[in-house]
Amino acid sequence: METYKRLFAYAPEKKAFGFAAIFLSAAAAVVGMLPFWYLWKFLLAVAVRKETALALQFAFVIVGLLVSYLVIYMTAVLSSHFMAFRLESNLRKAGTDALLQASFSFFDAHSSGHVRKIVDNNAAQTHMVVAHLLPDITGAVIAPLMMFILVFMVDIMLGFVLLGVVVVAMILTKAMYGDKNFMERYQKALEKVNSEAVEYVRGMQVIKIFKTTIESYKSFYKAVKDYGDLAYQYSLSCRVWFVIYQVFLKLIVALIIPLFIVFINRGADPALILIKLIFFTCVEGMIYSALIKTMYVGMYQFQAKAALDKLEELFTKMKEKKPTFGTETVFENSNIEFRNVSFKYEENFILKDLTFKLDEGKAYAFVGSSGGGKSTLAKLISGFYGLDGGEILIGGKPLTSYSEKAITEQIGFVFQNAKLFNKMSIYENVALAKPGATREEVAQAIKDAQAVDILDKFPDRENTIIGSTGVYLSGGEVQRIAIARIFLKNPAIIILDEASAAADPENEYEIQKAFASLMKGRTVIMIAHRLTSIQKVDEALVIEDGKILERGSHAALMAKESRYSEFQNLYAQANDWRVS
């Protein structure tokens, strides 16, 4: 019932179909067992009472009940499918809604392919589970109860024999299950195979080019082999009990025939004994079907719970590290201050009790080895993540006191890999930065970003549709269009994260010209591995392991033995390197 409640909570508008499926399945189970009662009456009329006309009436009743069972059961399945389709759709929508609200830290830790696989696979899994679980679980409960009632009504002795058969069959069924943790291990092995298969497909061109074999992708090969071994070993562990189960249920009628012969020898009516044997044979055949359904219900229930657990775990992770916002709408100034800030993505802290200040109107460069925390600092200033400790202040007020709109409007971020939206024009891509901007404002932003020459390449100029045939922009050109957005946005604080990394020399020259204009009168933070591009900033901060090792102007840091001067010297040596 707990699984039912969780499933129904995601499709409340179709909950009535779920309850209808349960009710109709129960009705179908009752109607489906009634033909056995009338079969008993039919056999009595034919073999004992010799009433052919009455037997014919019972035959018509049996046919009518079977048709009724089919109609009711199909209606129940149809209802459960209505519920299942809406559930699957709602779970996908819930995944999309959660993604739209997810924190940036979630996207840093989870690839889009991984997220899509979890949402799609498990949403589809719940559909299959609900579509079949609702009618089958009801039938698996009601049908055996009805079967016992009917058999006890026919003959108490047969009822106890049937009860004994069911008890033995259930013991054998439990033994067939084997390792109770198998389903969990099976699901994990299957997920591993799916995950490794994706990586294998992505690397298929490498396999073809270098003519390697699957063994070269050891993790995929091992995942497939482990999955196969697990399924095979589990099958072997079940086969003996499964054979015993099959033999027992197939031969049980033969085993009780001597019992019926004893009753005949004691003077019982042979015709009555014979029809009881026929009736018991028909009903006993239902045991196999009922127990198989029960096994599938157990599997479905496990799958439903596992699918919901995975989805809800993913939704919970999406909400982690989400920043909180307030109501303040204006930055008093663009001074930035970190007070004992701590932050971690997973288990280990990237920053721990970090404190420093950046003054308004100055340009700063974050320098350091990869993974030292430079980009994390920039993203924290932009309000992308919630903190694990301390606070960040802008204009003397905590970042959390400002509204999301205020932060979005007053902080501009240029990423290393800027993105433009396909099926939208260059004009529309730039205008996204300021809803309601005039064409003159957009045109001026494109001009300030040194991007007019990009428009000159296309007959439709700023109306050129990105992604259409014949439209190609290099990485540097895409970056310049992205910088035009920042000009249009006109924020007080600008963060440039390797903003010219994708540019060729010609584009980099234009980008640097745009930066020179963009940085005037603003607080600027630059993250750059091209150390020649940061020599004119007011201060460079050397960041390693989430700590600020040193800070100062280029001249001051180069005048002494410092980590900064070491980076600059290594960069100069790398630039002077030649093939000899």
Joined together, the tokens standing for residue 350 give: 């990237």
How many Å apart are CA 544 and CA 542, to the nearest integer?
A: 7
For domain 336-574, the CATH class is: alpha beta
**Class of domain 2-198+238-319 as given by CATH:** mainly alpha
* C-alpha to C-alpha distances, 375 to 112, 334, 526, 528, 549, nearest whole angstrom: 20, 19, 10, 10, 16
Q: pLDDT (tens digit, 9 = 90+) per residue, 344-401?
A: 877 778 888 889 999 988 888 888 877 778 888 888 888 888 888 899 999 889 888 9
Retrieve residue 286's tokens: 């239902």
**β-strands 363-367, 539-544: how paired?**
parallel
Cα torsion 70, 71, 73, 74: sign: positive
User: Could you tell me the pTM of the whole model?
Assistant: 0.63
pLDDT (tens digit per residue) in 99-154? 877 777 777 767 666 677 778 777 877 777 788 777 777 777 788 888 888 888 88
Region 25-35: what's the mean pLDDT? Answer: 89
Greater pLDDT, 206 or 271: 271
pLDDT of residue 202: 59
- Residues 423-446: b if buried by 16+ CB within 10 A, e if exposed: eebbbbbbbebbeebeeebbbebb
Confidence of residue 60 (pLDDT cuts 50, 70, 90): very high
Q: Rounded to whole angstroms, how far apart are CA atoms 127 and 311?
A: 14
CA 31 from chain centre, in angstroms, equals: 41
402-418, pLDDT tens digit by residue? 888 888 888 888 777 77
The pLDDT of residue 106 is 75
| Predicted local distance difference test score (pLDDT) of residue 210 | 47
Mean pLDDT for the chain overall: 80
Please determine, for residue 578, whether its predicted confidence score (pLDDT) is greater than 60: no
Residue 375 pairs in a beta bridge with none
Q: Are 244 and 253 in contact (CB under 8 A)?
A: no
Per-residue model confidence (pLDDT) at position 373: 80
The residues spanned by each domain of the chain are 2-198+238-319, 336-574
**DSSP helix/strand/coil, 67:** helix
Helix (H, G, I), strand (E, B) or coil at 499: coil
CA separation for the pair 251, 568 (Å, rounded):
86
Tens of pLDDT along 190-245?
767 766 666 666 566 555 544 555 555 677 777 788 888 887 877 777 778 888 88
Sequence length of the chain is: 580
Lowest mean pLDDT among 43-47, 162-166, 471-475: 471-475
State the residue for tokens 């079949």: 132
* Strand (E) or helix (H) holding 342: strand 336-344
> Concatenated DSSP letters for 360-397?
TT-EEEEE--TTSSHHHHHHHHTT-S--SEEEEEETTE
Query: With contact defined as beta carbons under 8 Å apart, do 518 and 494 qualify?
Result: yes
pLDDT of 258 > 50? The answer is yes
Residue 11 has pLDDT above 60, yes or no: yes
- SS3 of the chain: helix, strand, coil, percent, to 5: 65, 10, 20
The string of pLDDT tens digits covering residues 286-301 is 777 777 777 776 677 7
- The more confidently predicted of residues 306 and 396 is 396
71 pLDDT band, cuts 50/70/90, is very high
Q: Which of 11-15, 75-79, 184-188, 328-332 is predicted least confidently?
A: 184-188
Q: How many whole angstroms separate alpha carbon 296 and alpha carbon 176?
A: 13
Considering only 253-257, 304-308, 372-376, 435-439, which range has the smallest mean pLDDT?
Answer: 253-257
Tokens of 512: 């640097």
